Structure formats: C-alpha cells, structure tokens
A = this chain, B = another copy of it.
Amino acid sequence: MRILISNDDGYLAPGINALAEALSTVADIVVVAPDSNRSGASNSLSLDRPLSVSKAANGFYFVNGTPTDCVHIALTGMLDARPDLVVSGINNGQNMGDDTLYSGTVAAATEAYLFGIPAIAFSQVHGGWAEVESAARVARDIVLRRFEMLESPFLLNVNIPNLPYEQIGPLVPTRLGRRHQSEPVIRGQDPRGREIFWIGAPGACRDAGEGTDFHATSKGCVSVTPLQVDLTHRDQLDLLRRGLG
C-alpha cells in the first residue's frame, strides 16, 4: 500500500511525525506537507505564485504553500506513482461540526478525494499533543481496516480523544454536529494605538446529541464521519424549482 501523508500544522509538527512513523511499518509512505503552520487555511489553493518543493533530512518533502497545494502538486505531477490512500494530520486539535469547513487538515484529504483517491483526516480532540503516540496507533488501526464496505473513493473525518491507547473507546460512525455562533470579535489596541480585531472563540455546541462527532468523542470514542463535497441543498432546490417555475 502506498500512502501520501500531509497536514496543516507543517512538516515538523509532532502529529505528522507520529503518523508517518506509525504508518511506515505497514505501508510505503511519502510525506508532502506545508513548510510552516497553515492552520485555518481551509481549501486555499495558490494560483498567483509558483510553489517550490524541498526535501528535509528525514526524507519529508515540504512546500511553501497550503495543505491543498501540497496534495494537489503531489497528485498532479510530483509523485511518480498514484497513492492508494491519502491521510492528513494528526491535527493539533479537533475538526468537528462546522469547523471542518475551515480546516486545512480536512481540506488536504478532500483534495485527494476530488482526485478519486480514498482519504482520511485525523485530528486529536484537544490541542497540545498529549497522547499523540496513542492517536497514531489508532490511525494505523483505522488505515488497516480498509473500509471495503464503502464505495471508493471515500473521505473520512476522524477525531481521536487524547487518551492512552487502552482507554480509547471504539470507532463510532457519526454525522457532523453543529455549533452555535462564534463568540464576539475581540477589540483591542496594538502598542501603536491602532484599533485591532481578533477573531473570537468558536461557539458552544448546538447539535452535540447522539450520533454526532461531538457526542462520540465526549464519551471517549473515536468519531468517524464520512464526508462528501456536494454542497447542493437538495430540499431547497426542490422548493426553488417550484417557487421560480
């Protein structure tokens, strides 16, 4: 099995190192990841400047671009062989509910899925890298399951509690939960007296009931949410057809 690994925390992050080490025992791996932290990059693609690729001492490739850039150039010409699977992460903190829209980790996996390749995004529920080795073992377990019950390609969003391996609960198939609105923007002044605005904290959970990713991880389980990329709102499309007809 050939696996391409990327992330959004940069090629030096503990999460991608743990993931690469765990997967290297079961697959041929290649790492192509951003040169620095690109958290919150979402599906950004760099169209107005060229990218460069460098190889680090440990064999990882790093790119002066976004997570989506990394997977895109790996799949459209940089790699000699098409990977069987693309994994992204392990991210430094959760990507659940609406937050998946902003996530560079999920975006890297999504880019592969758009190219017809199965892909899995891995995140730890809490930031700070506690128990990242456990999370990497869970990730390897998940990769080895192969998910043959799903049509290929599939796109899975996995969130793993920061627990010792033995205390982590089973995989739970979930839907994305929903959050309330974000906290207000935080106004301040910089040291030169200019008004500045910091984006506020994410909102509390609004839909964190049974069946959601928020719920599963709160019980110590590993949340596995299959994703798709068609944003069309089918119900409203029917209403619109009738209304405009």
Binding site for B on A (CB under 8 A): 12, 35-37, 39-53, 56, 64, 68-69, 72-73, 76-78, 98, 100-102, 107, 110, 114-116, 147-151, 154-155, 171, 173-176, 181-188, 190-192, 194-201, 224-234, 236-237, 239-244
Find chain B residues with CB under 8 A from A243 CB: 147-150
Find chain B residues with CB under 8 A from A36 CB: 35-36, 64
From DSSP, what is the main secondary structure of chain A's interface residues?
loop
Find chain B residues with CB under 8 A from A184 CB: 76-77
> Which residue of B has the minimal Cβ distance to A77?
B185
Does the CB pair A183–B46 fall under 8 Å? no
Does the CB pair B42–A76 fall under 8 Å? no
What is the count of identical protomers in the complex? 4
> Which residue of B has the minimal Cβ distance to A224?
B240
| Candidate in A45, A100, A232 with the most chain B CB atoms within 10 angstroms | A232
Find chain B residues with CB under 8 A from A35 CB: 36
Find chain B residues with CB under 8 A from A41 CB: 42, 44
Query: With the chains together, A200 CA to B227 CA distance in Å?
Result: 25
Find chain B residues with CB under 8 A from A148 CB: 243
Does the CB pair A232–B226 fall under 8 Å? yes
Distance between A205 CB and nearest chain B CB, rounded to angstroms: 14
Find chain B residues with CB under 8 A from A236 CB: 150-151, 154, 226, 228
Does the CB pair A225–B232 fall under 8 Å? yes
Evaluate whether A237 and B226 lie within 8 angstroms (CB atoms) in the complex, with A76-B183, A115-B181 already known: yes
Distance between A74 CB and nearest chain B CB, rounded to angstroms: 9
Find chain B residues with CB under 8 A from A101 CB: 43, 110, 114, 229, 231
Does the CB pair A49–B47 fall under 8 Å? no
Which of the residues B56, B151, B191, B234 comes within 8 Å of A201, measured between beta carbons? B191
Does the CB pair A173–B241 fall under 8 Å? yes
Find chain B residues with CB under 8 A from A48 CB: 37, 39-40, 52, 64, 190
8 interchain residue pairs of minimum CB distance: A149-B243, A226-B236, A50-B196, A42-B42, A77-B185, A228-B233, A42-B43, A173-B240
Find chain B residues with CB under 8 A from A192 CB: 47, 201
Does the CB pair A52–B196 fall under 8 Å? yes
| Candidate in A35, A176, A228, A236 with the most chain B CB atoms within 10 angstroms | A236
Which of the residues B100, B197, B199, B241 comes within 8 Å of A231, measured between beta carbons? B100
